[in-house]
Amino acid sequence: MIQFLTIMLNAHRDEEKGATAVEYGLMVALIAVAIIVTVRALGTGLDGLFQQVTGAL
């Protein structure tokens, strides 16, 4: 009986590690999406700024 409980507790612990890995994966994906959106939004604005600087030179 004790061996069964030990196996069940270890299995539950491993499930939490898997869930944590999935949560970290989702966080990384959301951060990547935020970075991509920010770079795209700033990229078009910076392109116009560089065009103005190039024209002024």
Q: What is the 3-state secondary structure (H, E, C) of 1-57?
A: CHHHHHHHHHHHHHHHHHHHHHHHHHHHHHHHHHHHHHHHHHHHHHHHHHHHHHHHC
1-57: per-residue pLDDT in tens? 667 767 766 776 655 566 677 788 889 999 999 999 988 888 777 778 888 888 888
Q: What is the pTM of this model?
A: 0.52
- Give the separation between CA 33 and CA 26, rounded to whole angstroms: 11
